Amino acid sequence: MSVHDLDFITKKLNELKEQGVYRKLTVLESPSEARSIINGKKVINLSSNNYLGLANHPRLKKASLEAVEKWGVGAGAVRTIIGNMSIHEELEKRLAEFKHVEAVLTFQSGFTANAGVIAAVVDKGDVIISDELNHASIIDGCRLSRADVIRYKHSDLEDLERVINEVKDNYNTKLIITDGVFSMDGDIAKLPEIVELAEKYGCLTYVDDAHASGVLGKSGRGSADHFGLHGRVDIQIGTLSKAIGVVGGYVAGRKNLIEWLNHRGRPFLFSTAVPPSAAAACLEAINILSESTELTDKLWENSRYMKKALNDLGFNTGKSETPITPVIAGEDKLAIELSKRLFEEGVFAQSIVFPTVPRGAARVRIMVTAAHSKKDLDEAIKAFEKVGRELNLIK
């Protein structure tokens, strides 16, 4: 045995295997679209975050290719040295208009946006009040800050108020953080009530709209737009990697906040900017969304159609209010079997099990997109009906 064998890692991998949580990656062998080639088979893809079908949209591809010709393939440096191309600035200006905010700063991803922004706005002596189901990148961002973190029960306003009262006056800045749309159940944060509590007690609000960007609000302007809360949510995070179809993240808010992050948002300062072609494709996506609400309308129409069909068949879709639709099976094994059988019937729907979701709430999680046709959906519904009966999930 040699020290180079990394034996301690093999041991940990074996533990994962014993716990039944070791997994292999699924391989996508085509663009992400309504019907994709997955592990060698063309199936209806119900698991992507490509909500609007923009990841393989002709206009985005064209914009991206043109940008490669004009700008090359890389930004060449971090934004703060000489990687700040005018295409990056144009995207930020356009996003700020789209979001109706003073300013926007883009990051390399939604993940780095959370990791950078939280740590830059709160510090020792401050407190973060965080929904217990917030995304991993928020949790990491909280850890990177030196603020205290207190969690409140998921979307529980009474518990939120209890925590606010508990921390009263012991801290300088009090920052309430929530996902806009929760990724496992597809429920929407109670933002109007959260903002009201925040205003009553002098807290700031921070909403991570990763699954709301391109989905909620007019043409996907996000949850603040959905609830008519413009100017009352202090920090809005968005992603360009899900519905927008490309890659990147951004923060939207006041000018002083954006200027501060320009100096203190660590991933912005110390990691190279996204390729100009990515910025150009994002810009074209925002253009498309600004022209009409056609794509978001189609997304919602499709997801309502699918959810109703699944509910009519007797499936349990939990408390979903968005295109994220869990089909809850119960035991882990059952959810894994459901996913496997659906794949054999021509539908890819990823299973999600403990510890990502609580025990007994294992599921397949589906995202219908604007790119799915009625035929795609009807075929998928048929497969769910057949497999659901087989596994006794429905009668």
Ligand X SMILES: *Cc1c(COP(=O)(O)O)cnc(C)c1O
Cα distance between residue 251 and residue 235, in whole Å: 7
Q: Binding residues for ligand X, how many (CB under 6 A)?
A: 14
Query: Has 373 been annotated as catalytic?
Result: no
**Nearest distance from C-beta of residue 111 to ligand X, angstroms:** 4
**Nearest distance from C-beta of residue 168 to ligand X, angstroms:** 28
**Nearest distance from C-beta of residue 113 to ligand X, angstroms:** 7
* Nearest CA-CA partner of 208 in 115, 293, 329: 115
- 92 or 376, CB closer to ligand X? 92
**Nearest distance from C-beta of residue 135 to ligand X, angstroms:** 3
- 110 or 245, CB closer to ligand X? 110
Report if residue 110 touches ligand X, rule: CB under 6 A. Answer: yes
- CB count, 10 Å around CB of 150? 15
- 110 or 186, CB closer to ligand X? 110
Subset of residues 232 to 261 that bind ligand X, contact rule: CB under 6 A = 239, 241, 249
Only one residue has tokens 């909620």, namely: 216
**Nearest distance from C-beta of residue 211 to ligand X, angstroms:** 5
| C-beta separation of 289 from 214 below 8 A | yes
**Nearest distance from C-beta of residue 13 to ligand X, angstroms:** 25
- 91 or 383, CB closer to ligand X? 91
Choosing from 179, 187, 284, 379, the residue that interacts with ligand X (CB under 6 A) is 179
Query: Has 12 been annotated as catalytic?
Result: no
| C-beta separation of 175 from 203 below 8 A | yes
Report if residue 137 touches ligand X, rule: CB under 6 A. Answer: yes
From 211, 226, 307, 372, the catalytic residue: 211
* Nearest CA-CA partner of 234 in 211, 258, 216: 258
- 109 or 303, CB closer to ligand X? 109
Subset of residues 206 to 225 that bind ligand X, contact rule: CB under 6 A = 208, 210-211
Query: Has 183 been annotated as catalytic?
Result: yes
Stretch that binds ligand X, among 11-19, 203-211, 227-235, 307-315 (CB under 6 A): 203-211
Stretch that binds ligand X, among 5-13, 103-111, 154-162, 297-305 (CB under 6 A): 103-111
Tokens of 345: 């019937």
From 57, 174, 242, 372, the catalytic residue: 242
Report if residue 185 touches ligand X, rule: CB under 6 A. Answer: no
**Nearest distance from C-beta of residue 247 to ligand X, angstroms:** 7
- 211 or 381, CB closer to ligand X? 211
Report if residue 111 touches ligand X, rule: CB under 6 A. Answer: yes
Choosing from 57, 88, 135, 221, the residue that interacts with ligand X (CB under 6 A) is 135
- 96 or 210, CB closer to ligand X? 210
Subset of residues 31 to 90 that bind ligand X, contact rule: CB under 6 A = none
Enzyme catalytic residues? 183, 211, 242
Positions in the binding site for ligand X (CB under 6 A): 109-111, 114, 135, 137, 179, 183, 208, 210-211, 239, 241, 249
